[in-house]
Amino acid sequence: MSKNVQEQRMQALVSLCRRRAFIFQSSEIYGGLNGCWDYGPMGVELKRNVKDAWWRDMVMGREDVVGVDCSILMNPKVWEASGHVQSFTDPMVDCMQCKGRFRADHIENQQCPTCGSKNKFTEVRHFNLMFKTHVGALEDSSSVAYLRPETCQGIFANFDNIVSTSRVRVPFGIGQIGKAFRNEINPRNFTFRSREFEQMEMEFFVSADPAEAAKWFEYWKQERYQWYLSYGLTKERLHLREHAKDELAHYAAGCADIEYDFPFGRAELEGIANRTDYDLRRHSEFSKKDLTYFDDVSKTRYFPHVIEPSAGADRATLAFLIDAYAEEKDEKGETRTVLRFHPRLAPVKVAVFPLVNKDGMPEKASQIHAALKKKWNSFFDDKGAIGRRYRRQDEIGTPFCVTIDGESLSADTVTVRSRDSMTQVRVAAAQLVAHLEKDLG
C-alpha cells in the first residue's frame, strides 16, 4: 500500500475509535494532554480482554510463572540501581532565538525547526525521561520519587521475597501488568508512543549457564511470536527481528523485537531480552541484600540470568485494532466497516435483535439476551433496520448476531449471523449456547 493509502487507513481507524467509543483523547474537553489517552466503553473491554489473555497464557495458566502487582511509586534507589537516574535521558538543546526546545539528534543542519535560526543552540543537556514528584510533606531532594518508567524493576526488587515465600524453582518467571510513564518529548502515532502506557512484562529466571539462558531466549522469542498470531495478527505483518550486536544494551546477551507493520511504519510491539544477571547483581550491590539463589539440585548459589519478554498492552491493543480493520462490500453490495477481532478479544461477543418490535419478539429476544449475558458480554438492540443493526455490530467487531423473527416464536429457533462470512444459519433456541460456544469458548 502507498504511504497515502496507509495514512488514510490510520485516519479511518482513529476516527472509528473515537466514533465507536474505543479510544478518546484524555481530558478532551480541556484540549487534551499530549501523550495521554482514555479507553471508552468498547476500548476498555477490548484492552481488558488483551490483558486477560496475556495473564491467562503467561501467568495463571502456566506451572512455572507467578504474578505480582507492584506500586508505581517506589523507593528512588530502585532507579539508581537500574541506571535510570543516570542514563534514561534524551539529549536536548534550546534555540536561543525562539526559546524552543528540541532533541539534539533531531536538529538537521543546525537550523531551528520552529524559527529557522541557524547555529543558535545552547549546549546539549541531558533530559531525564522519568516523571519526578515529591513524596511526603517536604518538597526537596530528600523526598524525590519517580513514576516508574517500566514495570520490571518491581519484579527484581521482589525477587527474594517471592523466592522465599512462593514454591518457585529455577527456571521460573514472575509476570506483571501495570502502568508505566515516560516523559516522551514527542508522543506520536495515536496510542503507540504515549507518555502513560501499560506494560505486560515477565522476568523469567534461569540458571547461570549461558547455554541454558540462550535456550530459554529462543523459547520465549518463539512463544511470544506465536502468541500474537494465535490472537489473529496477520503473519505477513508480524516480524521477529534479532538485534545486531551494536544495538544491544551493554549488559544484554541478546535481544529480539516482535515488530508489526503499522500504517505509520514497522514498529516494536514487544522486546525479548536476555538481560543476563545484570539486574539482580545491581540490586544486590545497591541494596546490600543477598539476591543470589540457592539451587537445591546442583547445591550451588548464583545470580540467576533473566529472559524478559516485555510487551506493551496499548501497542498490542492498537495492533489488534488496525489488523482487524477492514472496509469491504456487504451482503447488499454496500461498503461495510468491520473489525475482525479474534472472538476472545472482541469487546462484545454476541448481539441479540428482535426483528420487529411487536408480536412477542422483543420479549423473546430479551429472554435470550439475559441468558447469553450470564456467559458472555451480550448486547441487546431493537433500534433501526436489521441491516443497520448488523453494520453497527460489524463496526465494533461483534462475532455473532442473533435475530428473533416470526419463525423463532412458532418453531423456537433463532438465526445466527456470522460477522466474518455474513452468512446466517438457523439454530434451535435450546442449542444456541452450545452453537456459540464452539467459537466463543
Which residues, numbered 368-387, are part of the site for a second copy (CB under 8 A)?
373, 377, 380-381, 383
From the CB of 12, what's the least distance to a second copy, in Å?
16
Give one DSSP letter per residue of 9-44, joined into a string.
HHHHHHHHHHHTTSEEETTGGGT--TT-EEE-HHHH
* Eight-state DSSP code of residue 190: T
134 binds a second copy (CB under 8 A): yes
Shorter beta-carbon distance to a second copy: residue 132 or 426 = 132
β pairing state of 350-354 and 378-380? parallel
The binder of a second copy chosen from 183, 189, 415, 424 (CB under 8 A): 183
83 binds a second copy (CB under 8 A): no
234 binds a second copy (CB under 8 A): no
The binder of a second copy chosen from 10, 70, 107, 253 (CB under 8 A): 70
d(CA 162, CA 177): 17
Segment interacting with a second copy, rule: CB under 8 A, options 53-61, 245-253, 353-361, 401-409: 53-61
Shorter beta-carbon distance to a second copy: residue 118 or 132 = 132
Segment interacting with a second copy, rule: CB under 8 A, options 21-29, 213-221, 327-335, 400-408: 21-29
294 binds a second copy (CB under 8 A): no
Shorter beta-carbon distance to a second copy: residue 60 or 434 = 60
From the CB of 6, what's the least distance to a second copy, in Å?
25
Which residue from 168, 149, 152, 150 is spatially nearest to 160, judged by alpha carbons? 168
- What are 144's three cell numbers? 524525590
Neighbour count for residue 220 (Cβ, 10 Å) = 22
Segment interacting with a second copy, rule: CB under 8 A, options 14-22, 230-238, 352-360, 420-428: 14-22
Q: What 3-state DSSP class applies to 309?
A: strand
Quote the radius of gyration of the chain (alpha carbons, Å). Answer: 26
Binding mask 137-156 for a second copy (x = CB under 8 A): xx------x-x------x--
Contacts (CB under 8 A) with a second copy, residues 110-129: 127
Which residue from 135, 144, 35, 45 is spatially nearest to 85, judged by alpha carbons? 144
The binder of a second copy chosen from 18, 215, 237, 435 (CB under 8 A): 18
Residue 325, CA distances (Å) to 63, 219, 394, 396, 419 in order: 35, 31, 10, 10, 13
Neighbour count for residue 140 (Cβ, 10 Å) = 8
From the CB of 96, what's the least distance to a second copy, in Å?
15
